[in-house]
Every structure is written in structure tokens, then in C-alpha cells.
Structure 1
Amino acid sequence: MSDAVIRVPAEGRDRLAVIAESRGTSIRALVQEFAESMLTDEERRERAEQTRAYLAKHFGFEVTDEESAAMGRKLREAFAQLRADAA
């Protein structure tokens, strides 16, 4: 696999360096880990459908679009609060 150059502002590079150092890794490995762990919108939709199918098959629980949207809002609010508390 060949490497690629990604240009970011100096502030972003410096932040990545601090995060990488705190984890005992390199910026390269940190960016690779990020790229491998993030899902595209399509992948998220596929996982959501797989989860719904699993819940329906194994537990008889049908998750509606409204319930899914409500849970998404609650999770976003909780993560926002965690970020605010950490700041």
C-alpha cells in the first residue's frame, strides 16, 4: 500500500500529534485508525437495517423510524453534553 499526503492546517496537525503521542502511536496510525473506524452514510443505514432485522427476528421487537430518530437525537444530546462537560 502506498502512502498519500493529506494537507491540514497546522493547528489540526498539532492536535493530531498531541492525540497520537498520548496514545503512544503516530499521526499516520491515528489517521488510519480513524479511516477504518468511521462509517459512510450508506454503511450506517445498512447497519441500522441489519440491527432492526436482528431485533425483529430474535426478540420480536420492531423499531420504527420515529423510535430510531428519537434515539439518535438522545444520543447526539448526550454526546454534546459530555463534550460540554469536558470543556
Structure 2
Amino acid sequence: LDALLAIVTAVAPTPVNVLISPADKVLTVTELQQAGVKRISLGPFLYTHAMEAVEQATKALLAGDLTTATTGMSFDRINELIARTTN
């Protein structure tokens, strides 16, 4: 955290982006924001998380479990997220 604070201070007002992975000592989003980080990247990890859900839904479908295969985020929720104007 000290090194991150030093970087943010040194390059201010240029925004600082941080790439984190499960191998890192992960700080909380709040800690990163308080340090002045403007963008947090997880690399491919959100994608791989979503692909795990696709794989599980496919397995359920192949097993004949339509309910599990088609359960997910509602279209209303998707529309709410798309309509948001702030992060």
C-alpha cells in the first residue's frame, strides 16, 4: 500500500490503474480507492469466472436440467445495469 500511495502521489494528477490477481496480496476496493487508484483491472479473471458459469449451464443442459441451465440474471437487472450512468 505504501508503494502504491507513493506512485499515485508521484504521478498526480495522472490517473493510476492497478492490475490485481489472486496471487497478489489483494487490497479491498475501498483501500485502493482511498490510495487514489482510478481503475482496477482483474485481467482475465472476470471472463474466466463468466466462462465457468457458461460451462456449468452447458453441463446442466446436457443433463436435461433446463431450470439450472437457464437460471441467471434477469433481463430487468441487465437493463438496470446498462442504464446506470455512474460506476
TM-score by length of 1: 0.35
Relative contact order, higher structure (CA 8 A, sep 6+):
2
- Give the structure with the higher percent strand: 2
- Give the structure with the higher percent helix: 1
